Amino acid sequence: MIITRAPFRVSFCGGGSDLPSFYEKYGGCVLSTTIRKYMYLTIHNYFHKDQIRLKYSQTETVKDYDEIEHKYFKQCLRDFGISGVEISSMADIPSGTGLGSSSSFTVALLHLLHTYKGEYVSKYKLAKDACEVEIDKLGEPIGKQDQFAAAFGGLKFYEFQQNGFVNVEPIVMAPQSYKTLEDNILMFYLGGVHSASAILKEQSQNVKTVDKAQVQQKMCDLTRTLKEELQKNNVDAMGELLHENWMLKKSLATGISNPLIDETYEKAINAGALGGKLLGAGGAGFMIFYVKEDHQKDVRDALSHLREMDFEMDNSGASIVHFDKENI
């Protein structure tokens, strides 16, 4: 059996500039981290060598790629020419909650299939190929940040160049600064799921207009400022820059925010949070807030009706958890 995993991501600043409609014209950048919540996939040889068995929220047993309902499994298994296997997926957090789960799934699946075939694959190739699967082959109207975050892991600055190349730069800080960042980010689950594709499709169209493109460019400026401040170990700059970024992001498409999200944000700010944002494309899922220690109890009390999740950063990226070559 082989087991791979890829982490979920939390995007702080610059989201949307990784859409081709924007970065191909202006270039883009995102600052994000991955967290210690993962997508897991397993593979082993299936008893019936002429069949494929897939286990996710549903179970499929098929004899031909065309019979597969799950479009990511269908595309990747066809591309690799693999059959006679059983593959299972499981995740620490439900999909559609703003943590880049579809890209974490794709990265972990590609890593799994390469490993099954005995092939080494670099993190950059994993990310690049995951983008090709999701964006080029399956036509998802999404950007590139999630695939690169899932593959590389860690607190990183991603720069999306006009020619399609992605530069990956780690954020280097003093050890205490990483701890301060982890300690001061509070993460809450609003509930519900969203359709990232629908919101991102609208956002992708909107940034073709001059005024929306200017908003997105301002978000990129904030992202570069955040990178510089973190590298100076000015972790508290995260609060104000998260706030400015969220105020701009809300204007990029309908569906990014709603009354529940606005009310939650206002409660947190009034209780002492310095800034925050909704994670993912918008509409539902998780929110994060930057809150200094002396105000954390107040914010938790104000949002006591919501489920809080521990915020712990991951540095591993896509990885092989288990590889038993004798019993695949």
Q: What angle do CA 84, 86, 91 make, to 5 degrees?
A: 150
The dihedral over CA atoms of 261, 225, 15, 79, expressed in degrees to the nearest 10, equals: -150
Query: Which one has a higher pLDDT value, 273 or 191?
Result: 273
pLDDT at 295 over 60: yes
Per CATH, the homologous superfamily of domain 175-312 is GHMP kinase, C-terminal domain (3.30.70.890)
In contact, 108 and 318? CB cutoff 8 Å: yes
Question: CA gyration radius for the chain?
Answer: 20
Q: What is the mean pLDDT of residues 235-246?
A: 97
Give the chain's length. Answer: 328
User: Residue 88, Cβ neighbours under 10 Å: how many?
Assistant: 16
Give the CATH architecture of domain 2-171+315-327: 2-Layer Sandwich (3.30)
pLDDT digits (tens, 9 = 90+) for 193-213: 655 555 556 556 666 676 888
Q: Tens digit of pLDDT for each residue in 216-228?
A: 999 999 999 999 9
- High-pLDDT (> 90) share of the chain, %: 84
Which tens digits make up the pLDDT trace of 60-104?
999 999 999 999 999 999 999 999 999 999 999 988 888 999 999
The full set of domain ranges for the chain reads 2-171+315-327, 175-312
- Count of beta carbons in the 10 Å neighbourhood of residue 218: 13
Helix segments in the chain, DSSP class H: 20-26, 71-80, 101-116, 123-131, 145-152, 175-184, 196-206, 210-231, 237-249, 259-270, 296-302
